[in-house]
Chains A and B, each alone.
Chain A
Amino acid sequence: MLRQNWWKILCVILLIYTFVAGFLGPVPAKPILNETIRNYYFHIAMWFCMMILFITSLVYSIKYLRTNNHIFDIYALEYAKTGIVYGVLGLTTGSVWAGFTWNAFWSNDPKQLGAVVALLIYLAYLVLRNSMTDVDKRARIGAVYNIFAFAMLFPTIWIIPRLVDSLHPGGSGNPAINADVHIRMVFWPGALPGWALLGVWITTLRIRLQMLSEQRLH
Chain B
Amino acid sequence: MGGSTRYIWSLFKKDLLLEVRQQYTFYGVLLYVASTIFVLYLSMGEPEGAVWKGLFWMIQLFICVNAVAKSFLQEGRGRLLYFYSIAGARDFILSKLLFNALLMLLMSLVSLFLFTLMLGNPLAHPISFLLLSGLGGVSLSLVFTFLAAIAARAQQSAALMAILGFPLIIPQLMLLNKASTIAFEDVVQGGLGSMLALIAGLDLMIVALAIILFPFLWKD
Interface, chain A (partner B; CB < 8 A): 65, 113-114, 117, 120-121, 123-124, 127-128, 131-132, 137, 140-141, 143-145, 147-149, 151-153, 155-157, 159-160, 163-164
Contact = CB atoms under 8 A, between A and B. Distances in A.
B217 A140 contact: yes
A166 B146 CA distance: 32
Given A121-B167, A132-B154, A160 B216 contact: no
29 contacts: A113-B174, A114-B171, A117-B170, A121-B167, A123-B167, A124-B164, A124-B168, A127-B163, A128-B154, A128-B160, A128-B163, A132-B155, A137-B153, A140-B219, A141-B217, A143-B216, A144-B216, A148-B209, A148-B213, A149-B168, A151-B205, A152-B171, A156-B171, A156-B172, A156-B175, A159-B198, A160-B171, A160-B174, A163-B175
Interface string B159-190: 01001101110111011001000000000000
A144 B154 contact: no
A140 B156 CA distance: 16
Interface in B140-163: 143, 146, 150, 153-156, 160, 163
Given A117-B171, A128-B163, 9 more contacts: A120-B166, A140-B217, A141-B154, A147-B209, A148-B146, A151-B205, A155-B202, A156-B174, A160-B174
A151 B209 contact: yes
Chain A interface main SS type: helix
B162 to A, nearest CB: 10
B217 to A, nearest CB: 5
Which of B143, B155, B171: most chain A CB closer than 10 A? B171
Closest 8 CB pairs of A and B: A156-B171, A120-B167, A121-B167, A117-B170, A144-B213, A124-B164, A65-B216, A132-B154
B206 interface: yes
A87 to B, nearest CB: 13
A153 B205 CA distance: 12
A101 to B, nearest CB: 24
B178 to A, nearest CB: 6
A114 B217 CA distance: 28
B169 to A, nearest CB: 9
Contacts of B143: 152
Given A121-B167, A124-B164, A127-B163, A155 B205 contact: yes
Contacts of B153: 137, 141
A206 B163 CA distance: 27
Contacts of A157: 171
Contacts of A163: 175, 178
A128 B206 contact: no
Contacts of B198: 159
A124 B163 contact: yes
Of listed B153, B160, B164, B205, residue having the most chain A CB within 10 A: B164
